[in-house]
């Protein structure tokens, strides 16, 4: 483990084991080196493996209310105190708070499980043993202990305990990792096997070996043999692995959704296999994208129209300037000082001729309309005169 101060020396883990009559075990960790480092203002740097799992870590027993059922029910201020205490003693690194609290939650759960399995259930009929906390864990208050013991004999707990026992019985391939977990095992193998890629099939097999390298369970030994054969075929090119369809999946069968064997808790299939994250596009996002495309198209049309208008105005301005120069040079309208290109003059004359023709046509149309009106008036006068003559005749 690395330290934030170079004056630190490597210390061996110190543990205190206290017997409780006939029950012997590991006991609680007093963590004297953590206390000493805090006094010396030394903060060990927490190390992570390539998948973000903590390799070297030390988080002791969490003291909290034992009767709380779930980690989610622990008050936020208590969790914050846990994080602050660890952050003071270790250099956890950016984003390490989640790992710290996850580890604390697991150790808190494991601690309650240890108390239940070793200090309560074996003494169901011994009220004297259950009347006070174990000598090993003297920090537990009697009121907390009594409430915790009572909760272990409730109907709800008995139902949950029975369900977990049934699930445990169905597990076929139990590991033998103890406290180091898969992250610690992987770190150990990388030190002893430098330059070798440690995949999860190797971790799964090694996690079920005893200290002599043997696999006592026949079922596990059979699967380990199959893993060895598949690894050999992969190295020879006879079998191909592709993403989640690796050696361990071939040996044990498909994974359960969201879980992954042989890597420990907290590692998802996507993290391990680097699978692409699915893209979720909402309706609003699609609408915004379509509106953006339409807006860009309309903007392009308006810009093109504006450019055309600017070019037309520029050409008209040049024509007017040319006409002005011609009008200012009456003696030599086509001289070098006041001249226009043939195209500009032709275009200008053409526009002037068109304008004159249009005006002449309008005048002719007006005169024709006037003649038609005069003809109509003449017809009306004749009609009136004829009617007057007829009336006189009949009278």
Residue range(s) defining the domain that contains residue 207: 177-278
> What pLDDT, on a 0 to 100 scale, did the predictor assign at position 145?
93
Instruction: Looking at the structure, tell me whether residues 200 and 345 fall in a common domain.
Output: no
Domain boundary among 278, 313, 330: 278
Given a contact cutoff of 8 angstroms between Cβ atoms, the answer to whether 204 and 253 are in contact is no
> What pLDDT, on a 0 to 100 scale, did the predictor assign at position 368?
76
Instruction: Looking at the structure, tell me whether residues 114 and 206 fall in a common domain.
Output: no
Instruction: Looking at the structure, tell me whether residues 160 and 208 fall in a common domain.
Output: no
Instruction: State the Cα–Cα distance between residues 228 and 225, nearest whole angstrom.
Output: 5
- Alpha carbon 199 to its chain centroid, in Å, reads 25
Other beta carbons within 10 angstroms of residue 347's beta carbon come to 17
Within a domain: 316: yes
pLDDT above 70 (res 276): no
Reported confidence tier of residue 388, pLDDT bands at 50, 70, 90: low
Instruction: State the Cα–Cα distance between residues 261 and 244, nearest whole angstrom.
Output: 11
The upper half-sphere exposure of residue 177, i.e. CA atoms within 13 Å in the direction of its Cβ, equals: 20
Within a domain: 393: no
When mean pLDDT is compared across 37-46, 186-195, 310-319, 356-365, the lowest value belongs to 37-46
Within a domain: 150: yes
How confident is the model over 20-57, as pLDDT tens digits? 444 444 455 544 554 455 544 455 555 555 555 555 54
Instruction: Looking at the structure, tell me whether residues 229 and 97 fall in a common domain.
Output: no
Within a domain: 344: yes
What angle, 0 to 180 degrees and rounded to 10, lies between the N-to-C axes of helices 342-394 and 283-327? 90
Given a contact cutoff of 8 angstroms between Cβ atoms, the answer to whether 51 and 263 are in contact is yes
Within a domain: 293: no
> What pLDDT, on a 0 to 100 scale, did the predictor assign at position 238?
92
Instruction: Look at 327 and 45; give whichever has higher pLDDT.
Output: 327
Instruction: Looking at the structure, tell me whether residues 222 and 319 fall in a common domain.
Output: no
Q: Cβ-count burial of 183 within 10 angstroms (0-12 exposed, 13-18 middle, 19+ buried)?
A: buried
How many domains does one find in the chain?
A: 3
> What pLDDT, on a 0 to 100 scale, did the predictor assign at position 90?
75
Instruction: State the Cα–Cα distance between residues 225 and 222, nearest whole angstrom.
Output: 5
Within a domain: 69: yes
Q: Cβ-count burial of 194 within 10 angstroms (0-12 exposed, 13-18 middle, 19+ buried)?
A: exposed
Which range of 256-265, 272-281, 304-313 scores highest in mean pLDDT? It is 304-313
> What pLDDT, on a 0 to 100 scale, did the predictor assign at position 134?
92
Instruction: Looking at the structure, tell me whether residues 184 and 221 fall in a common domain.
Output: yes
> What pLDDT, on a 0 to 100 scale, did the predictor assign at position 64?
55
Within a domain: 374: no
pLDDT (average), residues 266-282:
65
Instruction: Looking at the structure, tell me whether residues 207 and 237 fall in a common domain.
Output: yes
The 3-state secondary structure of the chain reads CEECCCCCCCCCCCCCCCCECCECCCCCCCCHHHHHHHHCCCCEECEECCCCCEEECCCCCCCCCCCCCCHHHCCHHHHHHHHHHHHHHCECCCCCHHHHHHHHHHHHHHHHHHHHHHHCHHHCCCHHHHCCCCHHHCCCCHHHHHHHHHHHCCHHHHHHHHHHHHHHHHCCCCCCCCCCHHHHHHHHHHHHCCCCCCCHHHHHHHCCCCCCCCCCCHHHHHHHHHHHHHHHHHHHCCCCCECCECHHHHHHCCCCCCCCCCCCCCCCHHHHHCCCCCCCCCHHHHHHHHHHHHHHHHHHHHHHHHHHHHHHHHHHHHHHHHHHHHHCCCCCCCCCCCCCCHHHHHHHHHHHHHHHHHHHHHHHHHHHHHHHHHHHHHHHHHHHHHHHHHHHHHC
Paired tokens of 268 = 């998802």
Instruction: Looking at the structure, tell me whether residues 166 and 46 fall in a common domain.
Output: yes
How confident is the model over 72-95, as pLDDT tens digits? 888 888 889 888 888 887 777 666
Instruction: Looking at the structure, tell me whether residues 195 and 154 fall in a common domain.
Output: no
Instruction: State the Cα–Cα distance between residues 86 and 105, nearest whole angstrom.
Output: 14
pLDDT (average), residues 99-123:
89
Paired tokens of 238 = 């006879």
Instruction: Looking at the structure, tell me whether residues 12 and 160 fall in a common domain.
Output: yes
| % of the chain at pLDDT higher than 70 | 65
Instruction: State the Cα–Cα distance between residues 148 and 318, nearest whole angstrom.
Output: 98
Within a domain: 295: no
């Amino acid at each position: 483990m690395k330290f934030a101060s170079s004056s630190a020396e490597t210390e061996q883990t110190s543990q205190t084991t206290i017997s409780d009559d006939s029950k012997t075990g590991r006991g609680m960790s007093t963590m004297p080196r953590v206390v000493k480092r805090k006094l010396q203002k030394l903060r060990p740097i927490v190390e992570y493996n390539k998948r973000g799992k903590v390799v070297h870590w030390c988080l002791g027993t969490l003291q909290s209310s034992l009767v709380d059922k779930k980690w989610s029910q622990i008050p936020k201020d208590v969790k914050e105190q846990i994080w602050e205490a660890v952050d003071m003693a270790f250099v956890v690194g950016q984003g390490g708070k989640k790992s710290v609290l996850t580890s604390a939650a697991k150790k808190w759960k494991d601690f309650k499980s240890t108390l239940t399995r070793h200090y309560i259930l074996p003494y169901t009929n011994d009220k004297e043993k259950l009347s006070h906390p174990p000598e090993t864990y003297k920090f537990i208050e009697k009121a907390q202990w009594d409430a915790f013991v009572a909760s272990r004999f409730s109907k709800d707990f008995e139902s949950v305990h029975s369900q977990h026992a049934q699930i445990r019985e169905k597990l076929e391939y139990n590991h033998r990792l103890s406290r180091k977990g898969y992250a610690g095992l992987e770190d150990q193998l990388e030190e002893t096997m430098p330059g070798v890629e440690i995949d999860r099939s190797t971790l799964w097999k090694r996690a079920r070996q005893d200290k002599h390298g043997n696999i006592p369970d026949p079922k596990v030994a059979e699967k380990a043999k199959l893993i060895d054969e598949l690894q050999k075929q992969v190295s020879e090119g006879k079998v191909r692995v592709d993403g989640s369809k690796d050696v361990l999946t071939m040996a044990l069968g498909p994974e359960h959704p969201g879980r992954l064997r042989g890597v420990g808790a907290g590692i998802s299939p996507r993290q391990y296999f680097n699978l692409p994250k699915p893209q979720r596009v909402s309706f609003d996002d699609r609408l915004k994208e379509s509106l953006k495309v339409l807006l860009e198209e309309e903007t392009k049309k308006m810009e093109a129209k504006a450019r055309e208008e600017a070019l037309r105005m520029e050409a008209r301005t040049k024509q007017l300037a040319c006409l002005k120069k011609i009008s200012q040079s009456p003696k030599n309208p086509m001289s070098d000082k006041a001249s226009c290109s043939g195209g500009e003059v032709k275009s200008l004359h053409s526009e002037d001729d068109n304008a004159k023709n249009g005006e002449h046509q309008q005048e002719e149309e007006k005169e024709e309309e006037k003649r038609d009106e005069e003809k109509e008036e003449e017809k009306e006068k004749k009609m009136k005169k004829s009617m007057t003559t007829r009336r006189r005749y009949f009278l």
